[in-house]
Amino acid sequence: VSTTTAGALSGKIAGVSTRAVDARPGRGINLEIRNMGSPLFVIDGIPYGGMNSRDWLQASDVSGSDVFNALNIEDIESITVLKDASAAIYGLRASNGVVLVTTKKGTEQKAKIEYNGYVGLQQVTRYPKMMNAYEYASLYNEAIYNNDPWRGANAYSQEQLMAYRNGTAGTDWWGETMRSTAPQTSHNLSVTGGTERVKYYMSVGYMDQGGILRSEDWNYKRYNVRSNLSVEITKGLNVELGLSGRYDNRKRPYDADNLFRSAQMAIPTYSIYANDNPDYWGGVGDMANPVHVSDSEYSGNEDRLRREFNGSLALTWKFPWVKGLIAKALVAYDYTNTEWKTWRRDLTEYTYDYANEEYVGKEINTAYLESKFENYEKPTYQFSLNYNNTFAKRHNIGATFVWEMYNDKKNWVTGTRDFAIGLIPDLDYGNDSNQKSSGKTQKTAHAGWVGRLNYDYGNRYLVEFNFRYDGTYKFQRGNRWGFFPGVSLGWRVSEEDFFKKLLPDMDNLKIRASYAKVGDEG
């Protein structure tokens, strides 16, 4: 079962590919349309991401892909992927395609309570088997002999080889550091219902994904809440309020990315503890003892806390004197607070000097702390007119005109300090003689005019014209705006009488051609 929205779409939509960069707990999955790069995600009408990969917003932790992956899958009503010229209506951020997401809304019914959950296990599907201690020692002796058969002395005696062979000595570093399975669980509770005038949908979700470390110190937890409320104030006048929040926490031991390499490369003839004394962690050569550093209690930890709020308020009015004409005003606000903390503890490992009967320590790490705080906010404003009507029962006409503006602002600050004694992971307790700090504030601004006109005859012959006049902060005054038009033609062959007689079992066949111009502010 996938823990991300993109992962749940794997293999389900033609032209859409997903790729997991790695399998660390909580890691998002990259979704691309025809391998063109990260698309624009539009969630309940609010755009996220979709810019060139070098853009600061795309490169930061607040990206469209991240917002999409962190959605509670149970809250999604529908997903639509725009892969052709129809994406042009989203302008300069749509060059890689568009993913439209609609979350669940309330319906006119009695209150319905629904629970969905699962508990499962994750497992490494393929992993190369490494040499055990006996195989390594035997081949090491053989390599010495092949290099100098007359003078080469064995590195490992027969007694040692027998101990490695019967398992009384040596270490399976991968097996001691990693476990074969890791737990994963998800739970979601929702309530939906409403009357003719008031409709509601509310949900709360929890997800916990563990890693494969035996120490159980690599994990990811996420909490989601959502509330969608629709109220008819008076006939033709509706108010919609959408609120959602997310809290997630990623934890792992310090420098965890190198754990897998260490577990693979640590020499299997070394022991976890020096002289098999559990009071002294054994050294394994030029790298850190993987069992030792896999435990946050000894190595330190890397934590990331993320708190996210999304809110939108929409007012919709159906004009009473013009059939099919609707005006809508929407204001949305997104806020994310992220906190990173990298805490490296003092780390010492030992070898045993048998001649002097003493433990010799080697300092692997000294105490160090890096703290980073980031705030991100994005207000969005949309004002639109929509018209839909049918004439003479066969002529269906629709038109949309929208003005949209959205700004992004991100500010962050980072501080680092060394520690003489690594006991309390707080910058106040560090050594201020070697402290470093940095910070930055970045802003963007975008605006656009959108228009669309579509016509169909009897739901058979389809024509659509659309455009977007888009502006971005990235260009100088006088050159900030671009015009992106598009046109599409469609023919629903399955609605023709001759086709129904020819292939009565095929209920839907449409031929479509489209052409558009899109931009890229990257």
pLDDT of residue 152: 67
pLDDT of residue 51: 54
Report DSSP letters for 335-401, one per residue: EEEEEEEEEE--EEEEEEETTTTEEEEEEEE--EEEEEEEEEEEEEEEEEEEEEEEETTTEEEEEEE
Which distant-in-sequence residues (6+ apart) come within 8 Å of 117 by Cβ? 185, 186, 187, 188
DSSP secondary structure code for residue 283 in this structure: P
Paired sense of beta strands 368-391 and 358-365, if any: unpaired
Read off the pTM: 0.86
pLDDT of residue 348: 93
pLDDT for residue 511 is more than 90: yes
Q: In 23-102, where does DSSP find H-type helix?
A: 56-59, 64-69
Whether the Cβ atoms of residue 80 and residue 43 lie closer than 8 Å to each other? no
Q: What percent of the chain has pLDDT above 70?
A: 97
pLDDT for residue 54 is more than 60: no
d(CA 37, CA 51): 9
Residues 260-304: tens digit of each pLDDT: 888 999 999 999 999 999 999 999 888 899 999 999 999 999 999
Asked which of 14-18, 55-59, 233-237, 409-413 is least confident by mean pLDDT, the reply is 55-59
pLDDT for residue 44 is more than 50: yes
Residues 369-421: tens digit of each pLDDT: 999 999 999 999 999 999 999 998 899 999 999 999 999 999 999 999 998 77
First to last CA, the chain: 35
Residues 440-463: tens digit of each pLDDT: 999 999 999 999 999 999 889 999
d(CA 455, CA 432): 69
Average pLDDT of span 44-63:
58
d(CA 6, CA 73): 10
- Polymer length in residues for the chain: 522
Helix pair 133-147, 158-166: axis angle to 10 deg: 150
Under the banding of pLDDT at 50, 70 and 90, the label for residue 313 is very high
pLDDT for residue 58 is more than 60: no
Exposure letters 250-288 (e unless 16+ CB within 10 A, then b) = bbbbbbbeebbebbeebbbbbbbbbeeeeebbbbbeebb
Under the banding of pLDDT at 50, 70 and 90, the label for residue 59 is very low
Sort 418 into a burial class: Cβ within 10 Å, 0-12 / 13-18 / 19+: middle
pLDDT of residue 422: 67
Average pLDDT of span 477-498:
92
Residues 226-247: tens digit of each pLDDT: 999 999 999 999 999 999 999 9
Q: What percent of the chain has pLDDT above 90?
A: 63
Residues 158-215: tens digit of each pLDDT: 999 999 999 889 999 999 999 999 999 999 999 999 999 999 999 999 999 999 999 9
Token pair of 447 as six digits: 């605006």
What is the residue whose two structure tokens read 């780390």? 347
Closest by CA to 185, choosing from 22, 28, 1, 9, is: 1
**Where is pLDDT greater, at 11 or 263?**
263
Token pair of 481 as six digits: 């705006």
Asked which of 80-94, 281-295, 486-500 is least confident by mean pLDDT, the reply is 80-94
pLDDT for residue 315 is more than 90: yes
pLDDT of residue 64: 76
Under the banding of pLDDT at 50, 70 and 90, the label for residue 150 is confident
d(CA 504, CA 48): 43
- According to DSSP, the residues that pair with 46 across neighbouring strands are 43
Residues 31-43: tens digit of each pLDDT: 888 888 888 899 9
Backbone angles phi, psi at 92, to 5 degrees: -70, -10
Q: What is the mean pLDDT of the chain?
A: 89
Residues 415-445: tens digit of each pLDDT: 999 987 767 888 888 888 888 999 999 999 9
Which distant-in-sequence residues (6+ apart) come within 8 Å of 150 by Cβ? none
pLDDT for residue 85 is more than 90: no
Distance, CA of 94 to chain centre:
20
Residues 200, 205, 209, CA angle at the centre, nearest 5°?
160
Whether the Cβ atoms of residue 265 and residue 271 lie closer than 8 Å to each other? no
pLDDT of residue 53: 41
Average pLDDT of span 83-90:
86
